[in-house]
A and B are shown apart, each in its own frame.
Chain A
Amino acid sequence: MNKPSTIEEVLTNRTRPKSPTAIQASATFAWRALLRIRYVPEQLFDVTIFPIIFLLMFTYLFGGAISGSTGEYLNFVLPGILVMTVSMITMYTGLDLNKDIEKGVFDRFRSLPIWQPSVLVGALLVDTLRYLIASTIMVTLGYILGFRPEAGFSGVIMGVAILLLFSFSLSWIWTMLGIIVRSEKALMGISMMFLFPLTFLSSVFVDPSTMPNWLQRFVDINPITFVVDAVRTLIHGTEANGDVMIVIYISIALIVIFGPLTMYFFKNK
């Protein structure tokens, strides 16, 4: 094909390929998100710095008091902090989208003949990659500090995998809020209001049986507790008690509820 050089020549090219499939379109939006990280690598700060700070802070702050030694506590708390950190990072998904969606380019996306959720799915896939980076950093650092998963490497992989599924699903809530809420600040406030109690009032830091009864009742129905227990079970190879299935159900429920809601608000923005 000759290289056309004028606008009129490029216009004569009237080929109109078939619209991309949902997967192709999602992959293209994921590619966009990756390119943006390349231009602004600072975007990875939250997934690299947070895990390190959280892990060091909580291990050495609580270790002695709760388990008598940091070494033993690390084995207990690492799966918990892993869930807590990644759940908190999911919040940034909404914050990024909240800024991004105000830009004119979203009008173009929405006027293209593509599977519309791909705009968001692509971004969320890359966010899931960010969660994987955070998880890897945390497990690696934990290993250096003396963390020893009883179910070995494969247990860690399974644990992280179930956490990523949950985080991807949870992200849809922030994505929806990112579309509805007007300011970044308000969004931050709302996200924190949910994430702080949910992550702390769970089995992340201590065994719930040490808590007062009324608190136990909340902790026992807190979804984060299920995720922590599932991840802990997988990592340490303790008896599988159905937590994994419950987390899968929770994840599916989150997607089924918040996916369509998000798309509704996205289309009618």
Chain B
Amino acid sequence: MSTYAVEATDLVKIFGKERAVDGISLQVPKGIVYGFLGPNGAGKTTTIRMLATLLKPNEGHAKVMGYDLTQEADKVRHSISLTGQFASVDEELSGRENLIFIGRLVGYSRKQAKQRADELLQAFQLEDAAKRQVKKYSGGMRRRIDIAASIVTSPELLFLDEPTTGLDPRSRNQVWDIVRALVKNGTTVFLTTQYLEEADQLADLIGVIDRGKLIAEGTSKELKASIGAGSLTVHFDDLDELKKAQNIFVSRFEQQPDINEQDISLTIMIKEHAKAAKAIGELANTNVQIKDFSMSQPSLDEVFLTLTGNVPDHEGGDSSNE
């Protein structure tokens, strides 16, 4: 038995003239959450669709759960489940009907399928909406029914394409809890996201993808070490205090902060959180009056800036959906 859920070598997918996926190689160990991080149109969805047997790669090959993607597509389909970026259930049907329907398709008897549907509705707190058409669901409910449909039989590998895009924070946390529960039970989860925070929260291993290429890979810690923990912004009551603080930062940390005189604030990039604490402590020790301060996560743009030297190309829309 292979220890990898996904082993891909030089996958290439060409749409017309565009190399949507341009030589991606991956090794995803079983039992982890693999986070595929990248902007719109980077090739995330195309890669997932290839690994889920929906698209044939133009070049390269891959094994999913130990089975060859093209030679043993049916066996791959037995081991995986896919929750697409857009509704992956039938919106015209009710939640319960959808789950029964999928249950029948994976081979349950009518009775088993109904029983399984009710279990899942209860577990995903969708009992009250069971008989409502999915198109009348809220965004969070829709995502939950999508995922519930994917685990009608617990898959060994679950693909989640941007599971939380467009969700409110509460629904997002629910989805995260679901993902954690899945992994705890031995399912490998391969998810794509545009949010660094999501990859940070969930993924054991993060692959950063841009323009069809994997440009960095590592744990959240490793990536952060190269990117930095984010930025520290300090607000002051007046410009004098700001100037004092600026001097301290320059002399103690050998860093020139960005000054915003209108806001009376300064911002510095920092490698790790401990350093931020030290900097605030230093200001307090020298009696600089600060109004407030805040830390912010590095944005995806900053990650890309650090890794590639330029901001991701948001042009070209979502070519990956073709």
Least CB distance from B321 to A in Å reads 10
Please report the C-alpha to C-alpha distance between residue A24 and residue B124 in the assembled complex, in whole angstroms: 28
Q: A-facing mask of B104-123, CB < 8 A → 1, else 0? A: 11111100100110111011
Give the nearest-CB partner of B78 in chain A. A113
> In the complex, which residues of chain A have a beta carbon less than 8 angstroms from the beta carbon of B34?
none
Known: A17-B108, A112-B77. A5 touches B123 (CB 8 A): yes
Contact check: which of A3, A8, A13, A32 meets B90 at CB < 8 Å? A32
Which of B52, B77, B81, B118 has the most chain A CB within a 10 Å cutoff?
B77
Q: Give the 4 A-B residue pairs with the shortest CB-CB distance, closest first.
A: A17-B107, A104-B86, A113-B77, A11-B185
Q: Contact residues of B with A, CB < 8 Å?
A: 49, 52-54, 56, 74-75, 77-78, 80-82, 84-93, 97, 101-102, 104-109, 112, 115-116, 118-120, 122-124, 133, 149-151, 153-154, 177-178, 181-182, 184-185, 187
Report yes or no: A105 in contact with B107, Cβ–Cβ below 8 A.
no
- Stretch of A33-41, A155-163, A245-253 that contacts chain B: A33-41
Within 8 A of B (CB), among A253-269: 268
> In the complex, which residues of chain B have a beta carbon less than 8 angstroms from the beta carbon of A19?
78, 106-107
Beyond A16-B107, A108-B149, 11 additional pairs, beta carbon < 8 A: A3-B119, A5-B123, A6-B123, A7-B177, A20-B107, A31-B101, A36-B90, A103-B91, A105-B87, A108-B102, A111-B53
Contact check: which of B74, B82, B93 meets A36 at CB < 8 Å? B93
Known: A8-B184, A111-B52. A32 touches B123 (CB 8 A): no
Give the nearest-CB partner of B97 in chain A. A35
Least CB distance from B121 to A in Å reads 10
Least CB distance from B146 to A in Å reads 9
Q: B-facing mask of A18-29, CB < 8 A → 1, else 0? A: 111000110010
> In the complex, which residues of chain A have a beta carbon less than 8 angstroms from the beta carbon of B120?
10
Known: A39-B133, A111-B54. A15 touches B153 (CB 8 A): yes
Report yes or no: B105 in contact with A268, Cβ–Cβ below 8 A.
no
Please report the C-alpha to C-alpha distance between residue A4 and residue B121 in the assembled complex, in whole angstroms: 11
Please report the C-alpha to C-alpha distance between residue A4 and residue B74 in the assembled complex, in whole angstroms: 30
Please report the C-alpha to C-alpha distance between residue A20 and residue B103 in the assembled complex, in whole angstroms: 10
Q: Contact residues of A with B, CB < 8 Å?
A: 1, 3-20, 24-25, 28, 31-32, 35-36, 39-40, 103-105, 107-114, 268
Known: A13-B119, A104-B85. A32 touches B101 (CB 8 A): yes
> In the complex, which residues of chain B have a beta carbon less than 8 angstroms from the beta carbon of A20?
104-107
Cross-chain pairs A/B with CB under 8 angstroms, 7 sampled: A9-B123, A11-B181, A17-B153, A20-B104, A28-B104, A105-B87, A112-B77
Report yes or no: A4 in contact with B119, Cβ–Cβ below 8 A.
yes
Please report the C-alpha to C-alpha distance between residue A3 and residue B106 in the assembled complex, in whole angstroms: 21
Contact check: which of B78, B84, B187 meets A107 at CB < 8 Å? B84
Least CB distance from A182 to B in Å reads 11
Please report the C-alpha to C-alpha distance between residue A15 and residue B104 in the assembled complex, in whole angstroms: 14
> In the complex, which residues of chain A have a beta carbon less than 8 angstroms from the beta carbon of B154?
11-14
> In the complex, which residues of chain B have a beta carbon less than 8 angstroms from the beta carbon of A16?
78, 106-107, 153
Least CB distance from A95 to B in Å reads 16
Least CB distance from A21 to B in Å reads 9
Report yes or no: A39 in contact with B82, Cβ–Cβ below 8 A.
no
Known: A7-B178, A13-B119. A107 touches B93 (CB 8 A): no
> In the complex, which residues of chain B have a beta carbon less than 8 angstroms from the beta carbon of A114?
105
Report yes or no: B122 in contact with A107, Cβ–Cβ below 8 A.
no
Report yes or no: A12 in contact with B149, Cβ–Cβ below 8 A.
no
Known: A10-B120, A11-B151, A17-B106. A107 touches B54 (CB 8 A): yes
Least CB distance from B34 to A in Å reads 18
Please report the C-alpha to C-alpha distance between residue A15 and residue B87 in the assembled complex, in whole angstroms: 26
Least CB distance from A32 to B in Å reads 6
Please report the C-alpha to C-alpha distance between residue A11 and residue B152 in the assembled complex, in whole angstroms: 9
Report yes or no: B56 in contact with A268, Cβ–Cβ below 8 A.
yes
> In the complex, which residues of chain B have a beta carbon less than 8 angstroms from the beta carbon of A109?
105
